Every structure is written in structure tokens, then in C-alpha cells.
Amino acid sequence: MLEELRKQIDTIDDKIAALYLERQNIVRQIGEEKAANRTALADPSREKKIIARVTKQADDSQKMYLKRVFETIMETSRSYQRQIVTPSTPLTDALHRVLMEGKKYFPVSSSVACQGVEGSYSSIAADKLFEIADITYFRNFEGVFQAVEKGLCDYGVLPIENSAAGSVGAVYDLMKKHNFYIVRSVKLRVCHYLLARKGATLAGIREVYSHEQAISQCSEFLQSLGANVKVIPCANTAVAAEKVASSDRTDIACISSRDCADIYGLGILQGNVQNNASNYTRFICISKNLEIFAPAGRISIMMTLPHESGSLNRVLNKFSTLGLNLTKLESRPLPGTDFEFLFYFDFEGRIEDADTLALIAELDQGSDQFTFLGSYAEVTQ
């Protein structure tokens, strides 16, 4: 009985495949017409009508399944049409111009903006990215964005996420306020140290200063110090080291980088105090210019989506259809809206690929707010 039913399924599948290929042939012809007439690939109103028509044939128990099937069919149709026509937009024109310039390689030296003071993890990341980094320090993350926007520095280096503590929300929130492009990223292994003035002892520490992200990454160690030790957030791990070094107290300490011990003349009370030995922070390098340095295999975008059921899933299906690996999805609330969000996507892909470029053009045209953040390489240190 089971084998007989499976044979019936096989026969039906063969018919579905034949009809699907017949449909794709017509889809190709429509794509060619759209290319000739410069018509948008997507036609949401027609797609809704098709789904409404076909789902009338199903009872309530099957309507949702049939809807999903036709949504997938239409997504693959658009993907096929993208091979035929890539809509011309100001963004795609700009990307084409950059690509036509030929291969460019990441600069060896440049002026770089970092948050904090000497010894910060951002400055360590900058030294990993550039062989010679002329670093200017700024009080906060916004100062880094402004320095790049105003041309005070060619590039800026900012932390974006940590493997243990998650995303750096303050940076994501600033990303929607400023104009910039990501030109490279670095994944840096972060080892935290408890530092204090020479002569201090672990048992005598009563206050520990550090950045809130480092505090989160070292929560287990801090708890082990006991309830009598006060943990105080600072703007930056290196700022915390500077504060401890400038004090005459031996009962305060900081969680900072190993470099800070040498820079500020502090002693190491304990090393590797982070919760996880595999503790990595990802930093982005930003520029005010659209630059793509070889080899660029990662793309970042941000966009709004309609405040309706299934809107995010439809976008994710586009990536899935093209076989693009989504490596990061972050949402941040849009101020002044009724629970609407701005979505950040990182995915593996090459902007030179026609399908990838066409997808970006489609997302650009289909979103009220769309920003191409960059095509770049990520390095690990």
C-alpha cells in the first residue's frame, strides 16, 4: 500500500516539475519584457492576487501550506528574472563605478579615529588592520563617526559585537545617524587582565573599573571577588587603566588589556579573567567613501521592513534562494515609531556576482529605508 502511494506521489511530482519548468520559461519571457521596458521585477499587488486566487481552491487546513508553496515559487521566479535584468538604481550605478576602477588593496598606513585612550582594544584592532596607524582618540563612539564624516581622519575603528556579551548596541544605534561605509572588519581575540598600582594585592581590592562590555565578559571573575568589591563602569577599558594609574590608591583596580599594564605602569594582579577563553570582539573599519578592497567576501546592509506578518521571512527567503549565508541579523527600534525596527544584515557574498547585485537592487527598491553599508573582507587575529 505504501509503495503504491509513493508511486502516485512520484507521478504527481513529475507533473509538478514539468509545469514548474514550463512556468519558468514564461517567467524568463516576462523578465525579458521587463528588461526592455525597465519595469520593476516585483509586483506585490499581482502576487497577492495570485495567492488569493489559488488558495480559494484549498480548504482551511491546506490554505497556509498552499500559500507558502506559491510564495516560494514566486521568489524563485524573481531570482531567475534577476539573472536577466538588474534594475539600475543610484546605488547599483555607484557600485558599478567602484568595480570598474579595478582591484584596490587595503592601505598600509592611514589616519584612524578610535574611541578611548591609548591601550584601548579599538587601538589594538587598528594596529592589526593597518601596519602603520596614525591614531587620534575620541571621547565616545559618536566622535569616531563624526571624525570620519568631517574628514578629520580617513578611517574609524569601532567595536560591533562580542562573542560573549553580544552586540554593542550604542554603535548600532549610531549607525543609522551617520553616513559611512564599512571597508574591513577584524575579529580580535580579547584577553582581559586585572591591573592595579604596584604594591596592590588581590585581597585588598575594593573597587574595579572597566567598560560595561568587559564587565559583562568577566562577570564570573568579578563575582568571585565577593560582595564587598564595587564594580564601576567606565567609558573604555583603557580609560579605566588611566584612572587607576593616576590615583594613589592601592585598593582600586581595572579590567583592561595587557598593553595597558605597560603603557600606564600597572601591575598584573590576574590574567585571563574573562568568562570564556575563546572571547572575540569584532571591530569594523569605516570610511566616508564607498571603497571596496580586494578580497571582499562579506556584505552589510540595513533596511526597514513593512510592519506586517511575514515581511522578515520573505527577505530571508531571498537570501536562501540564492544560497547566501546570513552571518548576522540585528534589529534596533526606530525612535518615534509604533514598534517598528531597522534591520541589519551581514552575509557572505561578492558584489561582483550579478545575482547578489540584483538582490541588493531589489531590496533597495522595495524598502522605505535602505542603506548599503559595505562590501569588505574580515580578518581574524
Rg (CA), the chain: 26
Query: Is the CB of residue 133 less than 8 Å from the CB of residue 163?
Result: no
Widest Cα–Cα separation across the chain: 87
- Residue matched to cell numbers 579573567: 273
Domain ranges of the chain: 2-82, 90-189+280-380, 193-271
CATH class of the 2-82 domain in this structure: mainly alpha
Q: What architecture (CATH level 2) is domain 193-271?
A: 3-Layer(aba) Sandwich (3.40)
Among the listed residues 151, 141, 203, 202, the one whose alpha carbon sits nearest the alpha carbon of residue 172? 141
Residues taking part in catalysis: 281, 283
How much is the pLDDT for 77?
86
Helical H segments across the chain, by residue range: 2-37, 44-55, 60-82, 90-100, 121-129, 141-149, 169-175, 212-217, 219-224, 237-246, 258-264, 311-321, 354-366
- Determine phi and psi for 294, rounding to 5 degrees: -75, 145
Residue length, the chain?
A: 381
Per-residue pLDDT of the chain (381 residues; tens, 9 = 90+): 888 889 999 999 999 999 999 999 999 898 888 877 777 777 888 888 999 999 999 898 999 999 989 988 988 888 788 767 766 788 888 998 988 887 789 999 999 999 999 999 999 999 999 999 999 999 999 999 999 999 999 999 999 998 888 888 899 999 989 999 999 999 999 999 999 999 999 999 999 999 999 999 999 999 999 999 999 999 899 999 999 999 999 999 999 999 999 999 999 999 999 999 888 999 999 999 999 998 999 999 999 988 777 788 888 988 988 889 999 999 988 877 777 889 999 999 999 888 898 889 888 888 889 999 999 999 987
How much is the pLDDT for 216?
93
Which residue type occupies 208?
Answer: V
How much is the pLDDT for 71?
87
- C-alpha span between 124 and 278 (Å, rounded): 17
Task: Give 208's DSSP letter.
Answer: E
Task: Give 272's DSSP letter.
Answer: -
- Determine phi and psi for 205, rounding to 5 degrees: -75, 130
Query: Is the CB of residue 283 less than 8 Å from the CB of residue 115?
Result: no
Q: Give this prediction's pTM.
A: 0.82
Residue partners of 269: CB distance under 8 A and separation at least 6: 194, 195, 196, 200, 201, 202, 205, 253
How much is the pLDDT for 358?
85
Topology annotation, domain 90-189+280-380 = D-Maltodextrin-Binding Protein; domain 2 (3.40.190)
Same fold, 90-189+280-380 and 193-271: yes
CB atoms within 10 A of CB 135: 17
- C-alpha span between 307 and 368 (Å, rounded): 11
For residue 207 the three cell numbers come to: 573597587
Q: Please enumerate, by residue number, every residue annotated as part of a binding site for substrate.
A: 6, 23, 34, 43, 47, 77, 81
Among the listed residues 111, 248, 190, 207, the one whose alpha carbon sits nearest the alpha carbon of residue 381? 190
How much is the pLDDT for 104?
87
